[in-house]
Structures are given as structure tokens and as C-alpha cells.
Amino acid sequence: MSEGVTFPLGFRAAGVSAGLKPSGRPDLALLGGGPDTTAAGLFTTNRAAAAPVRLSAARLAAGRGFGVVVNSGQANAGTGPRGDADAVASAAAVAARLDREPEDVLVCSTGVIGEPIPMAAFTAAVPDLVASLGADGGGSFATAIMTTDTVAKTAEAVGGPYRVGGAAKGVGMLAPALAGPPHATMLAFLTTDAPVGRSDLQRLAEEHVQPAFEAVSVDGCTSTNDTVLLLASGGAGGDVLGPEDAVWADLSTAIAATADGLARQLIADAEGATHVLVVRVEGAASGVDARRVAKAVADSPLVKAAGFGGDPNPGRILQAVGSAGVETHPALIDVWLGGAHLVEGGAIPPAYFETDGLRASAATAMREPEFEIRIRVGEGPGAAHAYGCDLTYGYVRINGEYTT
């Protein structure tokens, strides 16, 4: 496993078993930087946002945050005043052991909605968690944040003289709709050793991290707990960077690459998934319109079910494009599945119905673990992509038995 969040200089991480999960697997994680660490965040737009989301967003808005504690097993959402108090107490317990102010510690939770955190077990595990912190703890951190994930997810990149690392979890209840402050869960943590001020770090998060994770959709369900944090330790040294610096583009590219790498790992491990659907849209009036079409196709239960069955049905794709709420004319729509041109000017060509024609070619493409649906909706400059997956019996089983 890669070092992930501890690949950049200046970060330590850990993951331990606190007994928060019946399975006994690692379920409590901690990530922190040095005294000069800055932090930025993106949070769910779900109006039923969990207590840790509200607390962390408020602390970032106040200019605080050097690290984050993460529990898996309980989402601490739908828990009322007790949930708010537990989120505050979680941060305070860690901060006291680290000799930091409680406001410097951010909090993330993931697991079953409505279940409170077993605070006695949480608090008892904090000394071991803090003692386990190390520059080689990225792997244990990535493992401890998992819920229904089958593999840990980490990524790394280099941008000029700076390192970028990351870890993420989330394979269900996954269709992130994120916003910067003050606005199965997706949690993602990106780190860099570049020296970046808070406002510019937030800009990096919104411009290069947010698009990567908003391109992912397993089931169209936006979680109460979705959180993405970007931390900069300044561990590489040098003057504080800004957009005017020549190396800014290199750092931006590395952050975007790390975010995209994590996003692709999330969709590849989606609950019950057997195929990844890469939906690319071009020719829209704007990037926003293109993204709306791409997400509509990736989220469509009909398209997802067809992906599972290997059924190259262009009617399913046309239906999803037309329901996206984007102005277009049917005669401007073209669709390719793999290399097969299934829709030309809004019409399904006769070759689709031939025995060895387009249908057979598209069906062959759909046998691959990952296949691409390319859609042109006009002659505009807008382009975007989305990562989706098929809808399987496995997904229904996992979510039909989630709390039982």
C-alpha cells in the first residue's frame, strides 16, 4: 500500500481498533500536521448534515483545523443534541492528548445513521491512537476509515518540488454534492507539503478537488456525512505559495490527479458493482450543463441495470439525456458506446438492428470491467465526465440488509 496521506512531508497518521465496530476491525483514525498546517474543506449539501459535518465546517470557517479524527461504524447523523455533544467531545479528547486547542481538531464520522458513537470506547482508545501516530501511518489511516469498502484507497502525486497524498472511503450512498464552508458516506482526505494559505487552499479544493469527487455516483444518494478535507503542512519549506507563482500549476495538477485517482478507486469498489461506466459529454452550452447530462446518465437506474446485464440499449441513454433538464434538440444528440455509434442525430441507425452490427459491437464493449459512453449534445464548448457503475443484485443485497 502507498503512504497516502503521509506521503507529503510534515504529516503523521494512525488507525486503531477502538471497538466501535462489532467486527473488531480498525475503526478509529487520526491525521495531523505541524504547527503551520492550514486546512480547507468541502461538505455535503444534504440538509440533514451530520453533527461532525456542521462542527468541522464551522471550525474551518473560523480559520481553525490542523488535523482530523475519524470514527467508522457510526455516522453520528440523526442523533440530535447528543450527536453535537459527542462530536465536540471527540475532538476535545484528541486535542487534550495532543496538547492542542479543541478547535484545532476536525471531526468526521461514517457508518449507520442514527447510532450514537460509543464514547466510552472512543475515549479509551485515544491514548493508543495518539501514541500510534507516525509518518508511516498512512496505510493504517486508510484502513481504519473504511465501512463497506473492500479495499483501502490511497493515491499520491508530485507537483514540482511538492508532494500530494490522499486517502478516501465510500462505496455506497455515494453521489457527492459538495460546497465549501459554510455549507455508505464519502470521506476523502488530501494532503500536501506545499506552504499554502487558507484562502488559496480553499480555492485549490474548489477548483481541482470538488470536480473530481462530484463526478462520482454509485446510487444518486447524497450522504449526510460527505466530507473532503485538504491539508497543507508547509513541510517542504519555502515561501507561502499563491496562484501567481510558477509552480502553482504543477501543484494544482498534482492535487487534481490525486483527487481523480481516489475518485476512480471509489467507483471501482462500489457496492456490488461489476462494471464501471465512464460517461463523457461534449458539445453542451456550458460545463455545468455537460456535467448535469453526464450525472443523469450515470445515475439512471435503467442505464445502470443495462450495464449489469450487458444490454446496449441506446433508448435507455437517450431517456437519461432528455431528462437531465438541459436545453438541447434531439437532432443534435449522438451517442457512442465503446466504438459503436448507437445514436446519430437523435436516431438509432438501422445498423444497430443487424445481427452482427452495432449492437453486437457495443455488447462486446460492455463485457469489459470498464466501458465508456460518449455523448454529444450539440456544438457548444461545454464538456464534462462522470464515473458510475452498474446496478447489481449485490448492491440490493448489501443495502437491503445494511442494519440487519
- List active site positions: 185
3-state secondary structure of 235: coil
End-to-end CA distance of the chain: 32
Read off the C-alpha cell for 80: 440530535
If we measure between CA atoms, which residue out of 302, 259, 247, 256 comes closest to residue 277? 302
CA distance 318 to 377: 11
CA distance 191 to 237: 15
- Name beta bridge partners: 14: 30
If we measure between CA atoms, which residue out of 38, 52, 48 comes closest to residue 122? 52
If we measure between CA atoms, which residue out of 68, 81, 88, 70 comes closest to residue 20? 70
If we measure between CA atoms, which residue out of 41, 369, 374 comes closest to residue 201? 41
Residues 6+ apart with CB under 8 A from 369: 274, 275, 276
- Name beta bridge partners: 196: 241
If we measure between CA atoms, which residue out of 254, 256, 264 comes closest to residue 157? 254
CA-to-CA separations, 249 to 162, 212, 370, in angstroms, rounded: 12, 17, 30
CA distance 203 to 190: 14
Angle, alpha carbons 255-256-259 (nearest 5°): 85
Read off the C-alpha cell for 69: 479524527
With beta carbons less than 8 A apart as the criterion, state whether 152 and 137 touch: no
Can you state the angle between helices 119-131 and 80-98, rounded to 10 degrees? 20
Quick one: how far is CA 292 from the chain centroid? 18
Helix (H) or strand (E) holding 82: helix 80-98
With beta carbons less than 8 A apart as the criterion, state whether 24 and 16 touch: no
